[in-house]
A and B are shown apart, each in its own frame.
Chain A
Amino acid sequence: MLEDLILTVLMTSVPLVYAATGELIVERSGVLNLGVEGMMLMGAVSAFGIAMVSGSLVLGVIAGGLAGMLTAALFGILVLGFATNQVATGLALTIFGAGLSGLLGAPLIGHAIEGLPVLRIPFLSELPTVGKLVFSHDLMAYGAVILVAAVAYFLKRTRAGLVLRAIGDNHDSAHALGYSVLGVRFMAVLFGGLMAGFGGAYLPLMLTPHWAEGMTAGRGWIALALVVFASWMPWRVLVGALIFGGITIMQLAGQARGWTIPSQFLSMLPYLATIVVLVLISRNREFSLANSPACLGRAFHAGK
């Protein structure tokens, strides 16, 4: 019974991990894209539509990622090419994505599909408890963990990761060193879109296999909070997503058992915790310099 609850927590965290890890890369490059919700919705509707028409969930996932990426490209062109304000453009992207996904999704309403199958890893999934919790998931859930590991490795161990961080911390000197600030940022934005699209795809393919208008219901905004809560560290995104997901499920499970704490206060906890984390990392100057991208949200153009 507890295993099943934990399994639910894991599943509800998966889309958050994708979207937040993508946004983490975007923010590490110094760009703030508030349009995660819009990109997730585009990912969700495209994934469901393609999966329904083609009958292939894999194609659905790919379509979801690509749709998120295309939506992000729009943001990238405006913010990087035209140096528009990132906050305003991100908000506009959310309005746009919500609208367009609703429009595209209208013919999909009222249809259901088979969700992603669970891949039980032979032998290991037979183990008590661990077998169920660790070795019995769908492909995208395993993918989320691999993604976090890859991003952590990328940021810490690769040259490209170093360049990305350098650009996020000080775009002027990175530019002086000859790196293409806008080029790298555009790639980061596309990656963020791809991941938001994957995260969105998980909702109609796995969590609840149908499409509903606006079905992300604010999860894109939670992903944004999660990046900060994780203080821009990939592994902490994983932990944070489990905490956010855990609190959501705890409220529901607590109610079913007759708890009477107002759910609103439990729901507030992750956001308050995020602020506390932010204060703790910001007052520690060394830590804050090491992790939080100093150029976050600031426009760059050569020759400034």
Chain B
Amino acid sequence: MISLTPRKEIPLTLTLMTPLVAIALTLVVGAAIFGILGYDPLAALYQFFIAPVSRPYQVADLFVKACPLIIIASGLVFAYRANVWNIGAEGQLILGAMAAGFVALTWPNLPGPVMMPAMIIAGMLGGLAWGMIPALLKTRFNTNEILVSLMLTYVAVLFIDWTVRGPWRDPMSFGFPLTPMYADAALISRVELPGIGRLGQLHWGVAGALIFALAAWFMLSRSILGFQVKVMGDAPRAGRFAGFSPAMVTIMVMGISGGAAGLAGMVEVSANIGQLQPDISFGYGFTAIIVAFLARLNPLAVIIAGLVVALAELGGDSAQIALAMPKVVTGVFKGILLFMLLAGETFNRYHVTFSLPHRARMQGDSDA
């Protein structure tokens, strides 16, 4: 049996140590699995963690891959800190991408300085609107936002599917489910530095994502809103005494997290795809949930967690190319990594003691 006693304060060393220990354990378990499957364990680990970042352009790729995760998770942090469980970021991302796509496709001739801000705003509003549905249903009818936001994700997936196969389909696409390509003004350009040139596929959306995470951190730690969010999450009763409205906080955090997901959708399409298609997200909205938790709901840590998760993804590809390791192994490895990191987090929050079953039970009883 395992018994947990909450820590009053979390020592900084522990905060830093637990993820490292979790990753180290994953490496050991991963190496064992690779060995059993007949791969050279060290070569496999090299492909997963070192090879994907061994060249500068690959580091840029890593940031590109992490970009939507960082944006979405930075928004989700607000919701989760306030104990509002938005797990529909995937759907909000899709609606954001569609709203931005609507602007890009309806007014393709807008000049760049108008187009980009209009698309950013549309993207955020699209995601926000989709997030408002569970928020309003929760505040008005007390429905469970986990379930409503999840249901709305299914609806969003079907909605974009219909749109790109039906009304928004490019007449020149021979029936393939693709919208026309966006005009150049609607595309987020690659970062190009004077004297250096392009940095791989690095695009300005990545800079936006980092700024977004910083802004989220600032808002959460320094603003009144952040304070309200944290109070409502940690001690709702105290929050009500202080005059904060739980309904208002719910709406705010669903709006922020939905808007962030919508923005991520807009950035992903404008920077990397350039048109709408049935699949635009590949589960970023769900992966970002894991990222937010790995980051312990801290927007600065979200940047690191987003990069770690993105690395596991890229590592899977490089292991396939270099070692012909099937993609499913990546799934297993990623699952173990996430389990370890999530369990590691527990050692951070609690004193964990292992004991024989009946002793643990007695201890549990005496605790209560």
**A residues adjacent to B (C-beta < 8 A):** 32, 34, 74, 78, 81-85, 87-89, 91-93, 95-103, 106, 175-176, 178, 180, 213, 221, 224-225, 228, 262, 264-265, 267-268, 271-272, 274-275, 278-279, 282-283, 285, 288, 292, 296-297, 301-304
Contact = CB atoms under 8 A, between A and B. Distances in A.
A294 B151 CA distance: 19
Given A82-B343, A264-B161, A303-B367, A103 B144 contact: no
11 contacts: A82-B342, A84-B342, A88-B342, A98-B328, A99-B328, A100-B328, A100-B332, A264-B165, A275-B152, A279-B141, A283-B141
B240 interface: no
A88 B155 contact: no
A83 B335 contact: no
A271 B328 contact: no
A271 B331 contact: no
B14 interface: no
A183 to B, nearest CB: 8
Would you list the 3 A-B pairs with minimal beta carbon distance, nearest first? A99-B331, A96-B335, A303-B367
A74 B143 CA distance: 30
Contacts of A278: 137, 143-144, 147-148, 151
Given A91-B289, A103-B332, A278-B147, A78 B152 contact: no
Nearest to A288: B142
A297 B145 CA distance: 11
B85 interface: yes
B367 A302 contact: yes
Contact of B368 (A98, A275, A302): A302
Interface in B352-368: 352, 361, 364-365, 367-368
Interface residues of B, number: 60
B329 A84 contact: no
B161 A89 contact: no
Nearest to B330: A99
Nearest to B141: A283
B338 A301 contact: no
Contacts of B342: 78, 82, 84-85, 88-89, 92
Contact of B329 (A78, A99, A274, A285): A99
B162 A275 contact: no
Given A96-B339, A303-B5, A274 B144 contact: no
A92 B137 contact: no
Contacts of A81: 1-2
B182 interface: no
Given A225-B154, A268-B158, A278-B148, A95 B143 contact: no
B20 interface: no
B345 interface: yes
A62 B361 CA distance: 32
B326 A102 contact: yes
A122 B289 CA distance: 53
B252 to A, nearest CB: 20
Nearest to A84: B342
A285 B158 CA distance: 32
A95 B141 contact: no
Interface centre among B294, B335, B343 (most CB of A within 10 A): B335
B332 to A, nearest CB: 4
A92 B367 contact: no
B21 to A, nearest CB: 14
Contact of A84 (B144, B147, B166, B343): B343
A167 B2 CA distance: 19
B54 interface: no
B350 interface: yes
A292 B145 CA distance: 13
Contacts of B349: 83
Nearest to A105: B328
B26 to A, nearest CB: 12
B338 A95 contact: yes
A176 B368 contact: yes
Given A83-B346, A99-B333, A301-B6, 19 more contacts: A34-B87, A85-B342, A88-B289, A92-B290, A92-B335, A92-B339, A96-B336, A96-B338, A99-B328, A100-B332, A103-B332, A176-B368, A262-B162, A267-B158, A274-B151, A275-B151, A292-B144, A296-B146, A297-B85
Nearest to A181: B364
A268 B163 CA distance: 14
Contact of A83 (B150, B159, B350, B364): B350
Interface centre among A98, A265, A268 (most CB of B within 10 A): A268
Given A262-B162, A283-B142, A292-B144, A99 B5 contact: no
B302 to A, nearest CB: 13
A74 B158 CA distance: 32
A93 B335 contact: yes
Given A292-B144, A302-B364, A279 B162 contact: no
A271 B149 CA distance: 11
A83 B4 contact: yes
A224 B150 contact: yes
